[in-house]
Amino acid sequence: MKVIGVRFKEGGKVYYFAPNEREKYEEGTQVVVETSKGMEFAYVAFPPTDVEEKEVVQPLKPIVRIATDKDRETVRRNLERKPQAMKIAQEKIEKHGLAMKLIDCEFAFEGNKVVFYFAADGRVDFRELVKDLASAFHIRIELRQVGIRDETRLLGGIAPCGRECCCAGAMSDFRKVSIKMAKVQGLSLNPGKISGLCGRLMCCLSYENEYYSDVYKKMPKEGSEVSTPEGKGTVVSNNMLKLIVRVKIEKDGALVYKDFPLDKLRFKKREREPREEADAEGKDLQD
């Protein structure tokens, strides 16, 4: 089955749509698509391609058209409405004395609905707030409570690595992340060094986990005894990217530290990986 992948926002989840055979699509092409919520503005993630029918959620909605200047103007006007909408919503929240943190809002492409995203420690009775907002905007109002990882994804920011947060710019959905991944990769277990802006384990720990999990089983355990071409020694550290092991060897009454390629060592293989602990899963935020 031929489909085209589109995203509704940068770094967002990819959804399948039916391409219009009369139009040509390239990555990044702006399009208008039909969804269960009405017409939406989107971006082509990849051009038409064939996928197995079982991967497609039926019925497959069509791409209505390649976006026009008028469509782009509609998107621009909706963005311009956002600051005032946030201001009004914040005033209404304070008026009702609600314990909720307003994070973001977005207008539907057709302008018939506005969604407000907020964070709160528990459940919030916002029925009166919705009535007030409906009176102010005269369109459909939706309030959506999100978790702390989604909050960071919406607001964005610069991660400890100096790049944009993965969740805001490079992830289509949240992946399962656990402290085991940090252990396998030989990282410090100091929470301040392996946590992102949201305070949860960094999403990037999962990116190379498959590689590190495989290499971890092949590397000797730190502190264990190994046989080297220069005699027996104790493992000090492992470089899992270069497959090099630093070994401490006693020679003539002195301690010598030396690096050896993994394939030059003999040692007892690890019996198991670190125990799984403290999984931190994120809730996928709908685009």
Whether the predicted pLDDT of 19 surpasses 90: no
CA gap 68, 254 in Å, rounded: 76
Asked if the model's pLDDT at residue 95 lies above 90, the reply is yes
Query: What is the reported pTM?
Result: 0.72
167-194 mean pLDDT: 84
Q: How many CA atoms lie within 13 A of 45 on its CB side?
A: 18
Question: Would you tell me how many other CB atoms lie within 10 Å of the CB of residue 210?
Answer: 9
pLDDT interval class at 272 (50, 70, 90): low
Confidence of residue 263 (pLDDT cuts 50, 70, 90): very high
Q: Which residue has the higher pLDDT, 132 or 10?
A: 132
pLDDT at 171 over 90: no
Output the pLDDT for position 284.
40
Alpha carbons 35 and 32: distance in angstroms, whole number = 10
The predicted pLDDT at position 278 comes to 44
- Which of 78-87, 92-101, 164-173 is least confident? 164-173
Which phi and psi angles does 54 have, rounded to 5°? -70, -15
pLDDT digits (tens, 9 = 90+) for 231-262: 999 999 999 999 999 999 988 888 999 999 99
CA–CA distance, 149 with 154 (Å, rounded to integer) = 9
Q: Tell me how far apart the alpha carbons of residues 210 and 206 are, in angstroms, rounded to a whole number.
A: 8
- Looking at residue 114, its pLDDT comes to 95
Edge to edge, the sheet with strand 140-145 lists: 101-107, 113-119, 140-145
| Range from 57-66, 135-144, 185-194 that averages highest in pLDDT | 135-144
Place 274 in a pLDDT band, splitting at 50, 70 and 90.
low
* pLDDT higher at 153 or 141: 141
Q: Which secondary-structure segment (H or E) carries 251?
A: strand 244-251
Nearest residue to 287 via CA among 70, 92, 45: 45
